[in-house]
Homo-oligomer: A and B are copies of this chain.
Amino acid sequence: MTDTKQEADFLIHPENTFLYIWQLFMVALVLFSAISLPLYAVFAKDIPVLLIIIVFLFFCDIFINLRVAVKTKNGFCWETAEILKSYRKGFFIPDMIAALPWWLPVALLFKNEEPGIITRFLFLLPLIKILKIGHYLQVFEKSLTINPTIIRLIKFIVLVGIIAHWLASGWVLIGPVKEGLPADDFSKYIRALYWCITTIATVGYGDISPDLSQNHQIIYTMFSMILGVGIYGYVIGNVASLLANIDVAKANFMRRMEEINSFIKNKKIPLEIAQKILDYYNYLWETQQGGNDSQVMNELPQSLSIEVSMYLNKTIIQKVPFFTKMNEVFIREIIMQLEPLIFLPQDYIVRRGEFGDCMFFLSAGSVDVKGSNGELYATLGEGAFFGEMSLIRGEKRNAYIMAREYCDVYRLTKESFDELRRKYPDFDQQVIETVAERDAMNKKKTEKPAAPVKKQ
């Protein structure tokens, strides 16, 4: 995966930091142009200095584009010819149109005069660069972990803002002139923007409307209505679904809660049970954001899935004593075998006399170990494990284990357990030792059952 970079001849690697910054700057510059150029085209009394700077920076962009290596299937290509060919197929022509001072000849011809209608139109040519903004943004979208929905929301708002600004700028030129109103540039623009927003938002007070004897004003207004109202309606229609998607996990959880509510209401579940169900889901949301990520995990390729599992469960693994000594290969294997379960307060995790086919690791919460008469043998906390006794000796469970509060538990079945012990003899050894230790401890407890040991 190492790429040989040739930075001679000022060639730039496509993932170079300078290039990132330049592209970010270009995005800002294009947005600035989208706002300033229409204003110049409408209000400028002279060739604006900023316009010259913008055109110059767009010119620089062409040069930089010609120095960037091309990404191919087999890595990167540093040949100038290849770069030029790839650029010509891409944004070369719009880049050239944006970077050339088309207004220069006209301005030189009629110098000392206020720019005419054609010059003003030529001011707008660099706006073609706006076509490239999606191309620039792609780079950032890929490498950032920003919520894609928020990116789309911002795009929508910027889009509506720019279109409103353009329509307003056009209205300044084309719209009717009312007497008795302030005629400074700012007031004229504000009134045009006001007309535009009143129209786009379909409020339509009617205090500013085209002169009905001027067909070009009528046509411009119709065009604004069709474009503006269409985009506005589309954006409003989208915003609802976009906002709903900003936190998909929350939205899914809300939908599930609605189903649960409907279930409770239709089945007339009594309040006591209903409250337990709601508590359970609130616990699920607070600790696991609604759980049920198995779908996401299953979609990932195995190596990534293990990596994520290891990260998520590293706390439980670090807590269980005989896991900490095992090597990473073993940890990876055991993690894929663990099955997460949730127990409610007062739930029996293990019942005395049952035939056990699994052991448990307590990831969160605490449990009581009890005898058949309800006497408390011990209280186990996070990181404890239990149920392994019958698993090893093939006996029935010899105690009750009851959740004291909400417990996150991982279950390891006998099949997986036997498989792991067979595969990893050192793990087998450790299990045997721990069991012996535990036996000794239980023996002591059975002798003085009145004093339950709290082991947290």
A105 within 8 A of B: no
A233 within 8 A of B: yes
A425 within 8 A of B: no
Smallest CB–CB gap between A352 and chain B, Å? 13
Within 8 Å by CB of A276, from B199, B205, B245, B307, lies B307
A8 within 8 A of B: no
A148 to B269, CA, bound (A): 17
B contact residues around A293 at 8 Å (CB): 263, 267
Within 8 Å by CB of A248, from B207, B259, B277, lies B259
B contact residues around A260 at 8 Å (CB): 296
Could you say which of A25-33, A218-226, A392-400 contacts chain B? A218-226
B contact residues around A261 at 8 Å (CB): 145, 147-148, 248
A50 within 8 A of B: no
B contact residues around A378 at 8 Å (CB): none
Q: Please, which residue of chain B has its CB at the minimum distance from the CB of A146? A: B261
A422 to B247, CA, bound (A): 51
Known interface pairs A237-B236, A301-B342; A201-B229 also in contact (CB < 8 Å): yes
Q: How many copies does the complex hold?
A: 4
| B229, A203: Cβ atoms closer than 8 Å | yes
A243 within 8 A of B: yes
Q: Please, which residue of chain B has its CB at the minimum distance from the CB of A247? A: B262
A234 within 8 A of B: yes
Could you say which of A91-99, A176-184, A319-327 contacts chain B? A176-184
A347 to B305, CA, bound (A): 12
Smallest CB–CB gap between A200 and chain B, Å? 9
B contact residues around A278 at 8 Å (CB): 142, 145
A383-394 contact mask (Cβ, 8 Å, vs B): 1 or 0: 000000000000
Known interface pairs A198-B204, A203-B204, A258-B245; A303-B145 also in contact (CB < 8 Å): no
A341 within 8 A of B: yes
| B182, A213: Cβ atoms closer than 8 Å | yes
For this complex, 27 residue pairs linking A to B, each with C-beta atoms less than 8 Å apart, are A142-B282, A145-B261, A145-B264, A145-B275, A148-B258, A181-B212, A186-B215, A191-B218, A197-B222, A203-B204, A205-B205, A205-B206, A207-B209, A207-B210, A208-B212, A234-B239, A248-B261, A250-B262, A259-B295, A260-B296, A262-B289, A263-B293, A273-B304, A280-B301, A301-B341, A303-B347, A304-B344
A-B residue pairs, 4 tightest by C-beta: A203-B204, A266-B289, A233-B236, A205-B206
